[in-house]
Structure 1
Amino acid sequence: MTLSLACILAEAARRYPDRTAVVDGPLHETYAALWAGALARGAALRELGVGPGDRVALMVPNTVDFPRAYYAILAAGAVVVPVHLLLTPAEVAYVLKDSGARLLLVDRSLAGAGAEAAWLASIPVVSVGGPEGAPEADAAWRGVLPRLEDTAAATAPLTTYAIRRPEDPAVFLYTSGTTGRSKGAVLTQLNLVMNAVVNAFDANDVSSEDVVLGCLPLFHAYGQTVAMNTTFRVGATLVLMGRFRPERALELMTEHRATIFHGVPTMYVALTEAAARQRPGPLALRMCVSGGASLPLAVLEAVEKHLGAPVFEGYGLSETSPTATVNQPQFGSRPGTVGHRVWGVDVEIAVPESDPPAFLPAGELGEIVVRGHNVFAGYHNLPEETAATMADGWFRTGDLGTRDADGFVTIVDRTKDVVIRGGFNVYPSEVEDVLMRHPGIGQVAVIGVPHPVHGEEVCAVVVPADPAAPPEPAEVVEWAAARLGRHKYPRQVEIAESLPLGPSMKVLKRELRRTVTPATGA
């Protein structure tokens, strides 16, 4: 049996060749043109030595070049390793080395950072997008890096995509673990094809007539699967937005008659505030989908008031492709919940750490476990950590929740100390490891504190190395910002005499969360 995620775009080009696939500023790219571009670039990758099963890293923002390169990698039979654009070059280099990437494809606007990361990882780097000397290119690197498009122009395009099997890897999504070390979640061809199909036809009821506003970063599982792949599966139109700005998002909704919007709670907060200020023209929105973090009921109500569309909140992780549950039109929507399990996926509430999982009755609190076509193949080169997350075929999410008698799942808390800032996961141990290198810090604990815009803010509680000369909080923030991705560094620093410890000498972060003042501001 064969199956490739590349068929998502290939079939859309066959069925809807003249329909607009992507809108990127003034560019309206048809499905036929998008697939032709992917086949040409896939041939260029082959010319550069990329073969089936090789990993190719992709460092590109939300432009048409992302799907072109993404599907080019898949068409060549290779594995896509999307790179988080907020990482530092050193962090990118870790992803490149750990994944075993053979090549880095980098947008010309990010060429400097990409070249530095590739140099640190000792792999070649090739730029994508824009003609030579394009104004958006990183000026210092104009003409220095080879361009994928130049190789494609001198090479005959692929005639079709490479044959793959359902269990073959399609994408590595890097997500940090409780140890702080980034882990590559291996998602298969079957995982991602099925998640796109289920999101399109069972969870959200998307049609080829829909216009989807794509503000979510495409390097993230949510934007990649729920927005891009799902849209292409049905031949709908994806309107891309490189950097989310609420006022501009409202303008795009109006201009393109967008019918579907995918976002995280921070986006919805900003959108409703902007809509209340500027009163946008008539909107065609029929559905909003929320994920990445819990959506406050007040925000949901504001969306329905100002944008005039129902909000369907869902739940998932990188390891579940990502969608596991969502409020679905067929089952009705229940505010405050993340809805029902999606088609072909089982979701249960189990006694934490039970193996095999001991399931709990309706209404009882336990760990959410997931089984089905969406569950990943494991963490790349980490068999022990993979085994620790699986129990009798069930994926342990590490999240606590309940399921009521009607099947609606509610997320209650996280057993892991992950901070979700603006829809991005931040792992405290990784931040703590960096902060402990600061000469003025003796001890540190990183927690998430409530924030009105970002959902949670990263907060570092610091015990000075010298109590007589504690570091200034602003200086710690600046120091961390130079060493961590923009979504990771703490914006709030609290100086403390000591950290609360339990009997086993572990820091009691729940006590810190109880005593630290919640963050405010932007």
Structure 2
Amino acid sequence: MATLSVAAILAENARRRPDRTALVEGDLRLTFAEAWRRSLAQAGALTALGVRPGDRVALMAPNTAEFPLAYYAAMAVGGVVVPVHLLLSATEVQHVLKDSGAGLLLAHPAQEATARAAAEPLGIRVVVLGEELDKLAVDAEPPHSYVTRSADDPAVVFYTSGTTGVPKGAVLSHFNIVMNATVNAFDANDIRPDDIVLGALPLFHAFGQTVSLNSTWRAGATLVLMPRFDAARAIEIMVAERVNTFHGVPTMFVSLAAVAAGAAALPELRLCISGGASLPVAVLERFESAFGAQICEGYGLSETSPAATVNQPVFGTRAGTIGHPLWGVDAEIAQADVEDRVELLPAGELGEVVIRGHNVFSGYLGRPEATAEALVDGWFRTGDLGTKDEDGFLRIVDRKKDVIIRGGYNVYPREVEEVLARHPEIAQVAVIGLPDELHGEEICAVVVPAPGATPDAAAITGWSKEHLGKHKYPRRVEFTDELPLGPSMKVLKRELRARYTAR
């Protein structure tokens, strides 16, 4: 039986490069040796609390040092980490705890109230990270090393954002996570041990956890944590810490490009990775001209560990695409409306993106029917529509369920968003379909105006008429100060549909 543990990522660095800086958060600096020593001490505390291999440990913390240390402590005792989104209400946290079967909740002091409200009615113990866990660690015996697991044993259960209703737990194995971190570190992009990475993506989310935390440490590089993203502050931190790598979602790149001109100095960025949602080409161009750094857009889902494809130097990069599959991963386009089997389509055809490889999850916890719907013929069905060109570049067109059907014509919101993103008075835009008696659905653009601009709805409709086909331009334009974002920073279109349908 092959054994493997995510804990090895930190343990091996402590052995190979003990004195290298692993983690920076504010004034705190830890070498790999110190970080592993602290994680092992916490692992001793978890054992004293009764955590055994296979037990589920929920973790609720922002991007402070407490998160990675507790994460690797739980891995070291063979526990299964259940990261909890920080934006959830106590009722939603309770669902995650109950559904995952967690026996312990580790919570940051800032989350303690919500954690207790969720856990105590279920009889689940809450231990507060920092003082309380550190005291337990002092009194406990740290293990000599980590508990090894079977490679296919569960390591993490990610609760999907619940875009389709009740959040489901996607189970990822040690093999899934170690392989995804390894391939990201050594094959996908040019990552080097002396890189310094800004960790601004939430670590409780798959993108931040795999790409920022695990891949950075797999490469032996330094992670600089930022507990709460603010663009101007991010630039200051990146300059002060000589950060050369930034991972972000499109909303972060929008904000950084907007404040770059007013910054005293800009960081010298070598590599930027975008994921989590589609990056409009106009945003990519604005950011690249402001920072003089290239963005490599990628794609993935909680169910794919998460990285599945990315623009990679080996294949060349192409703006507006999500690049090529990672090493050892296949991504193809299949018939979207054939549910019971996977029928692959030739290059250039539009269909559903399907993925297979070492990154595909074990299934949804306790939901065999949902697992059987998602895993078909050895492929994971993503629910995203896309194309693959003759050169193998993949492009996401839209979510299957976000397609607008207006007067019998399919309209892909992303295509409309790409055009509107180039309007000088628009900072951000989300396009949705609203019920319409005549056409079935009408196209509505929800716009966040650019700073200082006061755009006119009729003028935007007129402008888009010149740039989009007759069936595609938005007949309705609504203005808002900000778009509703889910825990993974994706725009919550279901919320927008509910809000503007009600009007």
TM-score interval (norm. to shorter)? 0.7 to 0.9
Say which of 165, 173, 194 aligns to 1:209: 194
Secondary structure class of the residue paired with 2:184:
helix
Secondary structure class of the residue paired with 1:182:
coil
Match of 2:64 in 1: 63
Question: Alpha-carbon deviation of 1:167?
Answer: 0.6
C-alpha RMSD of the superposition: 2.3
Q: 1:456 to 1:50 in 2, by over 3 A?
A: farther
Structure 1 unaligned runs (5+)?
132-146, 420-446, 463-510
Deviation by residue 1:196-237 (Cα, 9 ceiling, x = unmatched): 011111111211100001110000100000000001101100
Q: In the TM superposition, what are the counterparts of 1:361-400 in structure 2 within 5 Å? A: 361-400=346-385
Q: In the TM superposition, what are the counterparts of 1:101-500 in structure 2 within 5 Å? A: 101-129=102-130, 131=131, 147-177=132-162, 179-278=164-263, 280-281=265-266, 283-354=267-338, 355-417=340-402, 456=430
**What's the TM-score, normalizing by structure 1?**
0.79
Q: Separation in 2 of the partners of 1:416 and 1:103?
A: 36
Count of residues paired in the alignment = 430
Counterpart of 2:79, as a letter, is: A
Secondary structure class of the residue paired with 2:177:
helix
Structure 2 unaligned runs (5+)?
405-412, 437-470, 483-503
Counterpart of 1:50, as a letter, is: V
Q: Separation in 2 of the partners of 1:381 and 1:512?
A: 41
Q: 1:285 to 1:77 in 2, by over 3 A?
A: same
Runs of 4+ in 1 over 4 A off after TM superposition: 176-179, 447-455, 457-462, 511-516
Question: Alpha-carbon deviation of 1:178?
Answer: 5.8
Counterpart of 2:76, as a letter, is: A
Secondary structure class of the residue paired with 1:285:
coil
Q: Separation in 1 of the partners of 2:107 and 2:8?
A: 24
Question: Alpha-carbon deviation of 1:520?
Answer: 3.7
> 2:501 aligned with 1:517, yes or no?
no
Secondary structure class of the residue paired with 2:52:
coil
Q: Separation in 1 of the partners of 2:302 and 2:354?
A: 14
Greater shift in the superposed pair: 176-185 or 323-332: 176-185
Q: 1:453 to 1:72 in 2, by over 3 A?
A: farther
Question: Alpha-carbon deviation of 1:329?
Answer: 1.1
Counterpart of 2:381, as a letter, is: R
Counterpart of 2:299, as a letter, is: Y
Q: Separation in 1 of the partners of 2:81 and 2:431?
A: 30
Counterpart of 1:289, as a letter, is: I
Greater shift in the superposed pair: 268-277 or 377-386: 268-277
Question: Alpha-carbon deviation of 1:454?
Answer: 5.9
Deviation by residue 1:299-330 (Cα, 9 ceiling, x = unmatched): 11111111111000001000000111100011
Question: Alpha-carbon deviation of 1:297?
Answer: 1.1
**Is this contact kept in 2: 1:192–1:225, CA < 8 A?**
yes
Q: 1:294 to 1:120 in 2, by over 3 A?
A: same
**Is this contact kept in 2: 1:21–1:29, CA < 8 A?**
yes
**Is this contact kept in 1: 2:235–2:263, CA < 8 A?**
no
Q: Separation in 1 of the partners of 2:162 and 2:112?
A: 28
Secondary structure class of the residue paired with 1:247:
helix
**What's the TM-score, normalizing by structure 2?**
0.82
Secondary structure class of the residue paired with 1:397:
strand
Question: Alpha-carbon deviation of 1:279?
Answer: 5.0
**Is this contact kept in 1: 2:348–2:388, CA < 8 A?**
yes
Q: Separation in 1 of the partners of 2:57 and 2:476?
A: 43
Q: Separation in 1 of the partners of 2:143 and 2:14?
A: 15
Match of 1:52 in 2: 53
Question: Alpha-carbon deviation of 1:43?
Answer: 1.1
Counterpart of 1:3, as a letter, is: L
Match of 1:31 in 2: 32
Deviation by residue 1:55-97 (Cα, 9 ceiling, x = unmatched): 0000010001100000000001000000000001111011000
Q: Separation in 2 of the partners of 1:163 and 1:335?
A: 42
Counterpart of 1:339, as a letter, is: G
Q: 1:456 to 1:121 in 2, by over 3 A?
A: farther
**Is this contact kept in 2: 1:118–1:124, CA < 8 A?**
yes
Q: Separation in 2 of the partners of 1:168 and 1:311?
A: 35
Q: Separation in 2 of the partners of 1:271 and 1:116?
A: 36
Deviation by residue 1:260-313 (Cα, 9 ceiling, x = unmatched): 0000110001001110222524x2210110001111111111111111110000
Deviation by residue 1:80-125 (Cα, 9 ceiling, x = unmatched): 0000000011110110000000000000122111111112332110
Secondary structure class of the residue paired with 1:330:
helix
Q: 1:207 to 1:92 in 2, by over 3 A?
A: same
Q: Separation in 2 of the partners of 1:2 and 1:320?
A: 21
